[in-house]
Structure 1
């Protein structure tokens, strides 16, 4: 874990008051090159200019979310006001966590998102969270890593819901949901518990043979392979983007001891956890291997 004293290297929070002149903010610059950003336009007009030269015009109150790969500039018109908050990959790992919603939040967080239609309820829900985020960073006596990650988790949840993703997930749990989709949701909730496949099949109301056939036919991999891929994906993510020790990562993923975790990880990836961390940080392995085998689930 990065110490709280270094929080300003991992988070930014700004309140942009109304100005008499036009202003430009460049998001991915210097220290903030790999940051995820949220912009809450409280009032006035603003325009995002993406690196593809596409422009997105905003009229407050509204919201926009930009992951690191969304290279862009923000032009705020005279009189416009809003909150800008940003977080490093390390903050995002802790904020997203490893709960049932984490997979959906991680997928959401990889794409730029602009509020398509006015949703004053969503803006009103998120505004006090962004204000709290900014206040936390502004107060030297506070500036807590735990508080900042808590604010960011709540912000991400509110954005995800505002985008309608939660409603889609809930519909997917109904009678028309495939067993494969429901299995994915169970894997997300249970993968740290190392439950036997019989528990998954029982919860889904099918036999283990039936579950095996569904996964094989749809994805060419067994349920156990998919489960192991999820564990490996999470281990890679934590090794790449956090300062946690191998012991802490092993404990967090439910392994009985770090030696067993290291053997499992090396068997699946060809690297020991320590070696993978070194290679990932030197050659940016994350860009090509981070979510392989899991993001392609339906």
Structure 2
């Protein structure tokens, strides 16, 4: 884990007071190049200018969530005021965590999100979280990695819910949901527990043969293959973007010992965990190596 003394290399929190003149803010600059940013415009007007895309006009109170791949500038009009918070990939890994909602939060955090219509309830829910994030960073005597990660997790959850994604996922758990979609949800909840495929089939109300046929027919991969892809994807993510040891990653993924985890990972990727981490960091391939097929599930 990165020490809390280096938290300002991994988190950004700013309150931009009203100004008599317009201001321009570049999000992906210097140490912030790979940060996920959130902009809460409290009052006034602003314009987001993404590279190669149409400008987007904002009027407070409103919120924008900006992943690192969205390279953009923010032009704040005279009199506008708001908060800017940002987090490094390492903070985002800890904030997203490894719970049932984590996959949905990760997918959500990797896409730009803008508040389509005024939603004062969402802004009121987010404002104390963003304020707490900024206050935590502003006091060197208390700035804590754990607290910043917690604020970011709560912020992501509030944004995800404000966007209606949670409601959509809950609808997907009903009787009309496909077996494949429900299997994906079970994998996300259980992949760290190494449960046998019979448990998945029983929970879904089908035989293991039926589940195998559905996965092979739709995606050309067996249920076990898909489950292993999910484990490998999570291992890659944590090796690339966190400072956790191989043993900590092994434990977090439910392996009985790090040696077994290393054998599993090398069989699936051709690299030992330590070698993969070294290659990934030296070649900066975080984005290109995370697509292990899980995100293309329906």
TM-score by length of 2: 0.99
- The Cα of 1:140 is off from its aligned counterpart by 1.2
- Paired position in structure 2 for 1:177: 177
Take 2:124 and 2:47, find their aligned partners in 1: how far apart are those partners?
21
**Match in the other structure for 2:195:** 195
Please list, as runs of the form range in 1=range in 2, the aligned pairs for 1:219-298 lying within 5 A after superposition: 219-298=219-298
Q: Distance in 2 between matches of 1:35 and 1:260?
A: 34
Deviations 1:116-144 (A, max 9, x none): 11111111100100000000000111101
Of 88-97 and 45-54, more deviation after overlay is shown by 45-54
CA contact (8 A) 2:262 2:273 kept: yes
Task: Give the whole-Å Cα distance in 2 for the aligned partners of 1:174 and 1:289.
Answer: 33
- Structure 1 unmatched runs, 5+: none
Q: Is this contact kept in 1: 2:230–2:292, CA < 8 A?
A: no
Partner of 2:97: 97
1:161 and 2:153 matched:
no
CA distance in structure 2 between the partners assigned to 1:149 and 1:183 by the alignment: 29
Q: CA deviation at 1:54?
A: 1.4
**In the TM superposition, what is the alpha-carbon distance from 1:285 to its structure 2 partner?**
2.6
Residue 147 of structure 1 is matched in structure 2 by 147
TM-score normalized by structure 1?
0.99
CA displacement at 1:174 relative to structure 2: 1.0
Q: Distance in 2 between matches of 1:291 and 1:18?
A: 42
Structure 1 outlier segments of 4+, above 4 Å: none
The one-character-per-residue Cα deviations of 1:141-163 (angstroms, maximum 9, x if unpaired) are: 11010000000000000111111
User: Paired residue for 1:129?
Assistant: 129
Distance of 1:22 and 1:53 partners within structure 2: 22
Partner-residue secondary structure (3-state), 1:295: helix
Name the CA distance, whole Å, in 1 between partners of 2:237 and 2:53.
31
Whether 1:66 and 2:66 are equivalent positions in the alignment is yes
Please state how far the C-alpha of 1:291 moved relative to its aligned partner: 2.5
- The answer (yes or no) to whether the contact 2:38–2:84 under 8 Å persists in 1 is yes
Q: Which runs of 5+ in 2 are unaligned?
A: none
CA deviations over 1:87-125 (Å, ceiling 9, x no partner): 000000000000000000010111111111111111110
Instruction: Answer whether contact 2:41 2:61 (CA < 8 A) is retained.
Output: yes
| Bigger mean CA offset, 27-36 vs 48-57 | 48-57
Structure-1 separation of matches of 2:223 and 2:285: 26
Matches of 2:285 and 2:30, distance apart in 1: 22
* Alpha-carbon offset, residue 282 of structure 1: 1.3
* C-alpha RMSD of matched pairs (Å): 0.7
93-102 vs 48-57, which moves further: 48-57
Counterpart CA distance in 2 for 1:111 and 1:52 is 16
**Contact kept? 2:126, 2:158, Cα under 8 Å:** yes
